[in-house]
Amino acid sequence: MEQLERGQGVGVVVSPRDLASHKAIEYSPRYRRFGAEVLFDPQFFIPGFTNKNIESYSINDFRSSIDSLAQVTASDLNGIASSLVEINGQLQSSAVLAPAVVYQAARPDILDLNDKLFSAAKKASHELGLPVYSSVILGSSATASPIPLNEVLSRATAQPADGWYFAFQFDGERIPSSTDNLIRFAEALLALSSTGLPVLHAYAGPLGLLSFGFGANGVGVAHFQNLWKFSPHRWQTSLGQGGGGDAPPRFFSTSLWGTIIYPDELIRLTQHLEQQIVTPSPFSGPVGTRPPRDWDRWEANKHLVYSICRTLAHIAAAASPIQCANDARDVLEDASLLLDEIRAQGLILRDNAGSYQRNWLGVLDHILANNARDYEYLRLIS
């Protein structure tokens, strides 16, 4: 809410995993009061998962294992459609997001199931008079090589959608740095945007810096690290306690396009470098003052979202995806030079905070050099 109050962001995606139905209905008018669009993500990605919040939505009645869902009947699909009409009507959503299971390689059953689930969403959207977005959630097996990725995208884009709700599974690192995976991510985004329909890159986080350069029209940003990339583990039962314990706050610097630990890492730098790294926001509080003072981790989270949204809004305003890509290159080039100065002072940032910027630059250069036809086509249809 505070981000919208300060003019950052254009909408909110409601997560049934994290927000009970009555709370979603309570908050939705407040979001819209700030001119925000509201979307409801059914989060059928791992359909056998449920929790207390999810159980508060009527669509939970239709969640089950993939094998069971594969046997979904016409009556069940009508029930799913009715549930989507109910919740999207209550939230006054701007569009209907179709429920979908994570796409995987060599799983024709999932292709068929997602087509059926999309048909239910299409029916709901027609009843509500809203556009319908197909959920294209790409699992790691589907993105492991171009062949399964192209097969999945070909099937998904055959759905009569009004737009795409897109997510890409990156395994491992806190922030993706694998060049091969990032190239396939870029090519998937370009393929969806080349349909001429809007694409919302969900679970983007800092990676959203690249998304507009690959044709996305919007990105999802949240402060939790497990929302900086799509991970099916978030919809699996956790055996751990979770939480961050007493970990110090991370300051997100738009100059670094990454985080630096406050105050432990920041105070090790010269004052000249610190002044370049501390990019202030309404939530940055005492950061940048010496001696350092306590800074609340929740304020650090709000600072991160505000800072990312402010930069991405500037990039998204560019006239074309190529200009968006070049604007992102400028950010990453400056960040890479700054990271070189930090390393020269003998500091290697934790959390892989300095390990991906040059790889992202390489991916941008690769895509711009090898996908000129895609960009020309986007120019023609824009």
Helices and strands of the chain, counted as H and E runs:
13, 9
Going through the chain in order, the beta strands assigned E by DSSP cover 11-14, 37-40, 96-97, 132-138, 163-168, 199-201, 218-219, 250-253, 258-261
Domain range spanning residue 143?
2-169
Closest by alpha carbon to 297, among 268, 267, 262? 262
Confidence of residue 238 (pLDDT cuts 50, 70, 90): low
Mean pLDDT across the chain, nearest whole number? 93
Does some domain include residue 203? no
User: Are 256 and 117 in a shared domain?
Assistant: no
Domain boundary among 169, 201, 221: 169
Domain boundary among 128, 154, 169: 169
DSSP string for 221-265:
--SSGGGSSB-GGGGS---S--S-TTPPPEEEETTTTEEEETTTT
Tokens read off for 379: 């120019």
Does some domain include residue 179? no
User: Are 9 and 115 in a shared domain?
Assistant: yes
User: Are 160 and 264 in a shared domain?
Assistant: no
Q: With contact defined as beta carbons under 8 Å apart, do 224 and 233 qualify?
A: no
Confidence of residue 1 (pLDDT cuts 50, 70, 90): low
Confidence of residue 356 (pLDDT cuts 50, 70, 90): very high
User: Are 44 and 152 in a shared domain?
Assistant: yes
CA distances from 38 to 11, 57, 90, 199 (A): 6, 17, 11, 16
Does some domain include residue 190? no
Percent of the chain at pLDDT exceeding 70: 97
Closest by alpha carbon to 11, among 120, 165, 118? 165
User: Are 154 and 261 in a shared domain?
Assistant: no
User: Are 138 and 34 in a shared domain?
Assistant: yes
Q: Is the pLDDT of residue 27 over 70?
A: yes
Does some domain include residue 345? yes
Confidence of residue 168 (pLDDT cuts 50, 70, 90): very high
Closest by alpha carbon to 202, among 226, 176, 227, 183? 227
Does some domain include residue 184? no
What end-to-end distance do the CA atoms of the chain give, in Å? 32
Domain boundary among 115, 145, 169: 169
Does some domain include residue 32? yes
Confidence of residue 227 (pLDDT cuts 50, 70, 90): confident
pLDDT of 381: 87
Q: What is the mean pLDDT of residues 172-181?
A: 92
pLDDT in tens, 184-193: 999 999 999 9
Which residues are bridge partners to 355 per DSSP?
A: none
Q: What is the mean pLDDT of residues 1-14?
A: 80
Does some domain include residue 152? yes
Closest by alpha carbon to 124, among 157, 160, 98, 90? 98
User: Are 21 and 144 in a shared domain?
Assistant: yes
Q: Is the pLDDT of residue 244 over 60?
A: no
pLDDT of 2: 76
Closest by alpha carbon to 40, among 170, 157, 200? 200
Does some domain include residue 334? yes
User: Are 162 and 284 in a shared domain?
Assistant: no
Rg (CA), the chain: 21
Strand ordering across the sheet containing 163-168: 96-97, 132-138, 163-168, 199-201, 218-219
Residue scoring higher pLDDT (188 or 291): 188
User: Are 35 and 161 in a shared domain?
Assistant: yes
Domains of the chain: total: 2
User: Are 7 and 151 in a shared domain?
Assistant: yes
Residues in the chain: 382
User: Are 129 and 259 in a shared domain?
Assistant: no
User: Are 138 and 7 in a shared domain?
Assistant: yes
Burial 77-115 (b: 16+ CB within 10 A, else e): bebbbebbbebbeebebbbbbbbbbbbbbebeebbebbb
Q: With contact defined as beta carbons under 8 Å apart, do 88 and 128 qualify?
A: yes
Q: Is the pLDDT of residue 213 over 60?
A: yes
pLDDT in tens, 294-352: 999 999 999 999 999 999 999 999 989 999 999 999 999 999 999 999 999 999 999 99
pLDDT in tens, 91-132: 999 999 999 999 999 999 999 999 999 999 999 999 999 999
Confidence of residue 365 (pLDDT cuts 50, 70, 90): very high
pTM for the full predicted model: 0.94
